């Protein structure tokens, strides 16, 4: 991360955010009775936003590492500015957001019947907040959007969700707010440390923070991000929120909102506090792998399709975290690509679950079986998306997971001492997670699609409609596009990732090694001293 590279001649980024915002205001002005008008307008607006975001993609220069297309305006008197820009780390997520939102809106056409107007307003405001979080290069602006995301999502879960929606909505809000308030204190701290005149990320990056200070700040930021990801011990809000949210909410929640956590790590936590991040790298990687295995096992035990997909998110995000802290070029690029992959595959899975739910109003796996005979197109789509989710070569999931695992192994083998053993063990455990993923996903697919039709009402199920096919088809196209030709996407991230690693990897590895030095020393001692067992055995032999 090397600062600001180019300024925007045309404010495409702001326009992309302004379109949904204006759309939300426009929707509020359309009287309440015109249901079709609302959803049509919301869809058109979100497609326009996507079209506008394409101009960001086109104007992005993959060779540059820093922020591009930057817009910078004065905002607040004490130095907070409206600074937005994209770089290789945020570009793919930015596009993912504008790509998923119209699909989620289109997918919600038939599911959202009550208070449709408010629903689409919330969706569009959510899009603004997500885009703002991804492009903000000013910490206060980032925090503003980061917190604002909670409000529409809270309403989407709470108003349009399932039976336990109130509980899930409040839990979601409180959990994520808990993390972020401490981050606010951290932001203010760094602002004062930087002389009290700026909130710009580039200024914060220049700060020279001591290790203790970094550790506290990393803890404050890391908690906010880890809850959002969610990493293993902080994940309990996720199954509730995912299961209770309406389909469109789940798609956005899994597709984009969770990525804000991982994005926060690579954008803020690592570059701002490299020493602390290095010292915490091994614990974070361990938690990530625990998340992979734990999430997979939990998924395996679920009887509810949506819950199964929700727990699988814990596992997939574990991969992303592992790759990000493995600190090799391919692992970090793979982590970024895997964020997009997860958005596409899991988004599609939630859509597919939603399709079934709309027809049968149940998400229990037992309620289905053999529906491949009646819903042929649906079955094909579900199988494709499942294979992408478990990472079959040729689909997007394979590329991401392969890069992450390859990068992890390479880092482990190049590292010395205890890290070598730990890294290899983590890589092997994560690879086992891939197998576990195949187990639970394929089991689910078998139970839902194949076998005899047990329930008579399933015989009359309608196959996917044209609208549903359009949504899922678009996602399947992306599955294969990324799977077959990933460099089209990866090449956008290379420069930024390389710059980040060049700048911070050295310091992180140093701290990581320092942390493990105690373990190494003990291993040395053990090697030098005769093993007590051998001594005991010799005693006995004598």
* Residues contributing to the site for another protein (CB under 8 A): 32, 75-78, 115, 118, 140, 143-145, 147-148, 150-151, 154-155, 158-159, 165-166, 169-170, 173-174, 177-178, 181-182, 184-185, 188-189, 191-196, 210, 212-213
Closer CB to another protein, residue 154 or residue 325? 154
Q: Of 120 and 154, which has the nearer Cβ to another protein?
A: 154
Helix (H, G, I), strand (E, B) or coil at 415: coil
Task: Dihedral sign for Cα 425, 430, 433, 435, please.
Answer: negative
d(CA 84, CA 67): 8
How is residue 69 annotated by DSSP?
Answer: E
CB 74, min distance to another protein, A: 8
Least distance to another protein, CB of residue 444, Å: 31
Q: Which residues pair with 86 in a beta bridge?
A: 68
The nearer residue to another protein, 188 or 474, going by C-beta atoms, is 188
Question: What is the C-alpha to C-alpha distance for residues 229 and 320, in angstroms, rounded to an integer?
Answer: 9
- Alpha carbon distance 517, 522 (integer Å): 9
Residue among 157 and 404 whose Cβ is closer to another protein: 157
Phi, psi of 235 (to 5 degrees): -90, 0
Distance (Å, whole) CA 520 – CA 67: 40
DSSP 309-330: HHHHHHHHHHHHHHHHHH--HH
CB 140 to another protein: min, Å: 8
Quote the CA–CA distance of 328 and 505 in Å, as a whole number: 9
For 56-213, where are the E strands, in sequence order? 68-74, 81-86
160 versus 419: smaller Cβ distance to another protein:
160
- Which CB, 151 or 523, lies closer to another protein? 151
Minimum distance of another protein from residue 496's CB (angstroms): 27
Q: With CA atoms as reference, report the closest residue to 86 among 105, 61, 110, 107.
A: 61
What are the backbone dihedrals phi and psi of residue 304, each rounded to the nearest 5 degrees, phi first?
Answer: -115, 125
Between 274 and 369, CB nearer to another protein: 274
Q: What span, in angstroms and rounded, lies between the C-alpha atoms of 86 and 102?
A: 21
Closest separation in Å from C-beta 514 to another protein: 19
Nearer to another protein by C-beta: 115 or 420?
115
Nearest to 420 by CA among 531, 513, 323, 308: 513
Write phi, then psi, for 321 (nearest 5 degrees): -65, -40
Nearest distance from C-beta of residue 79 to another protein, angstroms? 11
In the complex with another protein, the residue whose CB is nearer, 195 or 393, is 195
Q: What would the DSSP string read from start to end of 370-408?
A: SGGGT-HHHHHHHHHHHHHHHT-TTSHHHHHHHHHHHHH
Question: What's the closest the beta carbon of residue 77 comes to another protein, in angstroms?
Answer: 5
Give least dist CB 439 to another protein, A.
38
DSSP bridge pairs for 67: 4
We find the least distance from the C-beta atom of residue 170 to another protein, in angstroms, to be 5
- Among residues 177 and 450, whose Cβ is nearest to another protein? 177
How far apart are CB 147 and another protein at their closest, in Å?
5
CB of 30 to another protein, least distance (A): 13
346: left (phi over 0), alpha (psi -120 to 50) or beta: alpha
Find the shortest distance in angstroms from Cβ 182 to another protein: 7
d(CA 475, CA 388): 11
For 279, residues 6+ apart whose C-beta sits below 8 A from its C-beta are 211, 215, 511, 512, 514, 515
Closest CA to 239 of 297, 153, 291, 306: 306
If DSSP codes are grouped into helix, strand and coil, which group holds residue 451?
A: coil
C-alpha Rg value of the chain to the nearest Å: 24
The total of other beta-carbon atoms located within 10 Å of residue 2's CB is 17
In the bound state with another protein, the residue whose beta carbon lies nearer, of 78 and 485, is: 78
Tell me whether residue 143 or residue 325 sits nearer to another protein (CB atom): 143
């Amino acid at each position: 991360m090397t600062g600001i590279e180019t300024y925007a001649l045309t404010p495409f980024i702001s326009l992309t955010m302004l379109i949904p915002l204006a759309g939300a205001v426009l929707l509020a002005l359309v009287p309440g009775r015109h249901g079709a008008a609302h959803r049509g307008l919301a869809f058109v607006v979100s497609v326009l936003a996507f079209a506008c975001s394409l101009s960001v993609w086109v104007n992005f220069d993959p060779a540059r590492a820093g922020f591009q297309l930057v817009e910078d305006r004065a905002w607040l008197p004490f130095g907070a500015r409206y600074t937005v820009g994209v770089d290789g780390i945020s570009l793919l997520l930015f596009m993912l957001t504008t790509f998923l939102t119209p699909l989620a809106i289109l997918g919600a056409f038939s599911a959202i019947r009550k208070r449709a107007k408010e629903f689409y307003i919330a969706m569009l405001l959510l899009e603004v907040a997500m885009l703002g979080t991804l492009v903000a290069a000013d910490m206060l602006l980032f925090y503003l959007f980061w917190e604002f995301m909670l409000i529409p999502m809270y309403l989407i879960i709470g108003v349009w969700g399932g039976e336990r929606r109130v509980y899930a909505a409040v839990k979601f809000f409180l959990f994520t707010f808990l993390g972020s308030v401490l981050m606010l204190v951290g932001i203010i701290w760094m602002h004062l440390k930087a002389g009290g005149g700026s909130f710009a990320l580039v200024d914060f990056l220049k700060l020279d923070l001591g290790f203790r200070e970094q550790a506290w700040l990393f803890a404050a930021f890391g908690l906010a991000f880890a809850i959002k990801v969610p990493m293993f011990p902080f994940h309990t809000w996720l199954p509730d929120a995912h299961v209770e949210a309406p389909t469109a909410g789940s798609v956005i929640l899994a597709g984009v909102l969770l990525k804000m956590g991982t994005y926060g790590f690579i954008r803020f936590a690592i570059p701002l506090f490299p020493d602390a991040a290095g010292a915490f790298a091994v614990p974070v990687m361990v938690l990530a792998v625990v998340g992979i295995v734990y999430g997979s096992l939990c998924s395996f035990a679920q009887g509810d399709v949506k819950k199964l997909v929700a727990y699988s998110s814990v596992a997939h995000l574990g991969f992303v975290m592992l790759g990000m802290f493995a600190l090799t070029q391919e692992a970090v690029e793979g982590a970024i690509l895997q964020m997009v992959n997860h958005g596409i595959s899991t988004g599609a899975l939630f859509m597919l679950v939603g399709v079934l739910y709309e027809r049968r109003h149940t998400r229990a796996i037992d309620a289905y079986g053999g529906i491949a005979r009646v819903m042929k197109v649906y079955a094909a789509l579900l199988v494709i998306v499942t294979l992408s989710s478990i990472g079959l070569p040729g689909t997007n999931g394979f590329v991401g997971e392969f890069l992450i695992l390859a990068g992890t192994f390479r880092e482990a083998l190049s590292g010395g001492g205890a890290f070598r053993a730990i890294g290899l063990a983590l890589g092997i455990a994560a690879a086992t997670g891939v197998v576990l993923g195949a187990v639970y996903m394929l089991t689910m697919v078998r139970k839902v699609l194949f076998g005899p039709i047990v329930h008579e009402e399933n015989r009359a199920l309608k196959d996917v409609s044209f609208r549903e096919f359009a949504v899922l088809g678009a996602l399947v196209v992306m599955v294969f596009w990324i799977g077959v030709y990933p460099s089209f996407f990866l090449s956008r991230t290379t420069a930024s990732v390389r710059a980040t690693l060049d700048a911070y990897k050295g310091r992180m590895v140093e701290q990581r090694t320092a942390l493990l030095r105690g373990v190494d020393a003990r291993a040395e001692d053990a090697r030098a001293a005769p093993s007590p067992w051998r001594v005991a055995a010799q005693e006995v032999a004598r």
